[in-house]
Amino acid sequence: MKEAASPLSREIALRNHLVAILIAAAATGFVTLLPGHPGVWVQWTWLLHVFLGLLFSIYLTGYLALHVKRAFGLRRTLVSLVGVLVALVFLGVIASGYHLSALGQREADRWVYQWHVILSSLCLAVFLAHGLTGYQFSAGRKNKAVSDSNEYRPAWNLTVRYAGFSFAAVLFPTLIYTATLPAEKTGPVITPYQTPYGPHPFRPSQTETSTGTFMEPARTGNSAQCGACHAQIAKEWQASIHSQAGSDQTYQKNVNLLAKKKGMATTRYCEGCHAPVALISGQLTEGGKLDTPGHLLEGVSCLACHGVDQAVHVKGVASFRFSPPSDYLFARQSNPLALKVHNYLVRIQPRQHRKDMARDILASPQLCATCHVQFMDKDVNQWGWVQMQDEYTGWLNSPYSKQTHQTFAEGYLKRCQDCHFPLAKGSDPSANSEGMIRSHYSLGANTAIPYYTHDDGQLLRTKEFLQADKVRVSIDIPDRPDAVHSNAYVAPNIYDSKEVPDYCYIGETLKFNVVVANTQVGHNFPGGSTDINEVWLYVRASDGQNNTVFESGAMDSKGTVDQNAYFYKSIPIDRQGEPVWKHDLFNMTGDSFKRVIMAGKSDIVPYSIVIPDWVKSPLTISVSLKYRKFNDRYAHWALDDEGIQLPVIDMSTDMASIPVRIKPEIEALPTH
């Protein structure tokens, strides 16, 4: 019958395993620190390191239970102190390792990874110190029972075995994965692919790719995979206009009109910004479709912004260069288990992911300029170069860019991202130390899409955004030079009041100004598609019995605005001088009318009212700046619904109450 091993023999056996595992874990841990793009073997090593760390924690638990029990009570002060230090360091490594293995490297917890690296380095040093002090204390002594034990195995022998296991655990998966990895497709998804605008595959869009080739849809889209880790951000993005840029009914109406009139290849002009997945994959040629998942599910996908590495220029029309992120293992796989491994690798070592997804261009307004600036050239409109929307130049000329002589009291740079992607509380791996993330609702001025998609939450957020003191209106009633308090004459030398009452007389013409100030829009107001949006002033004057004395900018029962109202809009025209009202900008040759307000500037609008004799005092003047995404004519056509009435938002309001008087006769001074 085999004799049971002694506690000391079991302790030494565990120690030998610990030494071997520690060396293997240290070696694989070093690999996680290697700079540059992580290759296939490097990522398999990360997984092996996690496994070795877990194995090490199991062996360490057993070893400490035996070692502390044996060493407790021995009077070896120096050895005991070093041993306690070793145990604490090891426990710190294990605790931080478990945190990283379970939660990954979260942005707010970067210190956990840093301390894991520091403590792991200390492990080797203190373990060696503990071993040396223990060896010196017991030098010259020999424990025959231990040396004769069949359970004792030299640490170096185990180290060789663990090294061999580690090598095989990395080599074979690497060879298998590399051999089965499908070749990257660089051709268009639709062939033959037409290039009527020259040899460049994406023209008339200004898009470039880092490879100079087409890319598979999964390389430019695949936003659902992003949502596996960034659930809150993905949910916000899905509600945003960005995600619906390709599926929006009005856009689909216009892009299909373009395809019908100019051919499928011309739709690249629009799709570079509205559906880059379709553009870069080579869908946009004869035989392709405008209702693929790249349009309907992605729109401006996560990678449409996060995959951009530079702005080719700031003239717009999708003038960005797309550079796909580096692949982690099992990227773009449909197998659920493979996707879990992929996402796990990203979480435990996101260094390359951060580098790819947080490029410098993301913090620059130039990124926004690549799509929120627009021009059209002769090759599309057969006329000539025409400038269209240009929010970037509007921002450059504003006080917010800090590139002009203008300035505001804040005195700091405010970018597009600061307004449309503000910091907000959120639970996400990318949240900073204060729990803040960039909101991806990307709020702007589109109230139409959330209205007819019944997204009440996004509609409410957009309304609040528009009403957040972006633009102010105020009524300016000039002082009366002939104002009097009574019909009695008062000599000027005894009447020194400089403030005169605001009032008006029956029968006279009251003149006043409405001041519209662009106070917090970082570009011209209104921006975007000023040809189909509606911004106007609604002014109403009523007497004390709420009878209408004057009205401008009212809407009729069908939702049509009084055409004599004061509008902020543009009227594009075609080569015959007729309005281009369907937003078919390929027919546009210029603007016959355009009225906007530059950032930090004001517009003064004069009004005059004849006060009728039936008015009851006081006269109340109210003004509101109204906004509607899409005028009713365009909305009825684009949405194929003659009865739809899109919501109207009061962006700013003001009111003034003015007494109405009967003009008195002023008594003349006696002549004697």
pLDDT confidence bin for 222, thresholds 50/70/90: confident
Element (H, E) at 387: strand 386-390
Rounded mean pLDDT, 133-158 = 51
**Where are the domains positioned within the chain?**
7-180, 208-438, 467-661
Q: Residue 2: pLDDT band by 50, 70, 90 thresholds?
A: low
Q: What is the pLDDT of residues 564-598, one digit of tens each?
A: 999 999 999 999 999 999 999 999 999 999 999 99
- Name which residue leads in pLDDT, 373 or 145: 373
Confidence of residue 496 (pLDDT cuts 50, 70, 90): low
Please indicate whether the domains covering 7-180 and 467-661 agree at the CATH topology level: no
Residue 130 banded pLDDT, cuts 50, 70, 90:
low
Answer whether residue 141 shows pLDDT above 80: no
What is the pLDDT of the chain when averaged over all its residues?
Answer: 88
* pLDDT score for 184: 87
Per-residue pLDDT band for 501 (boundaries 50, 70, 90) equals: low
> pLDDT band for position 415 (50/70/90)?
very high
User: Contact at 8 Å (CB) between 607 and 513?
Assistant: yes
Averaged pLDDT, 618-640: 96
- Averaged pLDDT for residues 396-404: 88
How large a percentage of the chain has pLDDT more than 90? 70
How far is Cα 65 from Cα 8, in angstroms, rounded to an integer? 12
Helix (H) or strand (E) holding 551: strand 548-552
Structure tokens at 71: 């060493």
Task: State yes or no: pLDDT of 131 exceeds 90.
Answer: no
pLDDT at 536 over 90: yes
Task: Label residue 148 by pLDDT band (50, 70, 90).
Answer: very low
* Candidate ranges 54-58, 200-204, 334-338, 482-486; pick with highest mean pLDDT: 200-204
The reported pLDDT for the residue numbered 140 is 42
Q: Which amino acid is at 379?
A: D
Residue 214, C-beta contacts closer than 8 angstroms, at least 6 positions apart: 185, 186, 187, 188, 189, 201, 280, 281, 282
Amino acid 137: pLDDT = 43
Left, alpha or beta for 41 (phi > 0: left; psi -120 to 50: alpha)?
Answer: alpha
Q: Domain spanning 467-661: which CATH class is it, in words?
A: mainly beta
Q: What digits encode the pLDDT tens for the residues 454-474?
A: 999 999 999 999 999 999 999
Mean pLDDT for the stretch of residues 374-403: 93
| Confidence at 518, pLDDT banded by 50, 70, 90 | very high
Of residues 27 and 478, more confidently modeled: 27
Is the pLDDT score of 150 beyond 50? no
Query: What pLDDT, on the 0 to 100 scale, is given for residue 503?
Result: 84
pLDDT of residue 63: 85
Alpha helices in 423-532 (DSSP H): 448-452, 456-466
Structural tokens at position 668: 């003349």
| pLDDT value for 34 | 87
Reported as a single tens digit per residue, the pLDDT across 25-58 is 989 998 988 888 899 999 999 999 999 999 999 9
- Supply the pLDDT for residue 128: 64
Task: Please compute the mean of the pLDDT values over residues 602-608 and round it to a whole number.
Answer: 96
124 pLDDT above the threshold of 60: yes
pLDDT in tens, 98-110: 999 999 999 999 9
What kind of fold does domain 7-180 have according to CATH? Fumarate Reductase Cytochrome B subunit (1.20.950)
- pLDDT tens, residue by residue, 239-262: 999 999 999 999 999 999 999 999
Instruction: Produce one character per residue of 135-169: b if its CB has 16 or more CB atoms within 10 Å, e if not.
Output: eeeeeeeeeeeeeebeebeebeebbeebeeebeeb
For residue 498, pLDDT beyond 60: no
Which residues, other chains included, contact 262 with Cβ-Cβ below 8 Å and sequence gap of 6+?
A: 380, 586
Residues 314/392, Cβ–Cβ less than 8 Å = yes
Helix or strand holding residue 597 (H, E)? none
Strand partners for 624: 538, 653
Indicate if the pLDDT at residue 135 is higher than 90: no
Q: 1 pLDDT exceeds 80?
A: no
The C-alpha atoms of residue 140 and residue 561 are separated, in whole angstroms, by: 103
